[in-house]
A and B are shown apart, each in its own frame.
Chain A
Amino acid sequence: MLRRIPIGYRFLTPLAVVFAAVFAYPFVYSLWLSLTNYTITRRNETRFVGIDQYTGLLDNDTYRQALVNTFVFVLLAVSLELLLGLALALCLQRQRWARNVTRAFLLAPMFVTPIAVGLMFRFLLNQQIGVIPEILGTFGLEIDFFGPDLALFSMVAIDVWQWTPFMVLLLLAGLESLPKQPFEAARVDGASRWLTFRSVTLPLLKPVIVVAVLLRALDAFKVFEYVFAITRGGPGTATETIQYQVYRTGIGFFRLGEAAAMAFVLVAVVLTIVVVLFRRLMREAT
Chain B
Amino acid sequence: MVDQLSPLAPVLRPGRHALADHSVGVTLTETQPGSIVQLAAWRGEEGALIAAIREVAGLALPDGAGGGVSTEAKAGFGFAPGKFLVVDQDEGLAAAFAKAVAPETGTVTDLSHGRTAIRIAGPKAEWVLAKFFATDFSLPAFPLGSGISTVHHDIFAQIQRSGADEFDVYVFRSFARSFWKSLCHASEEVGYEVL
A binds B: no
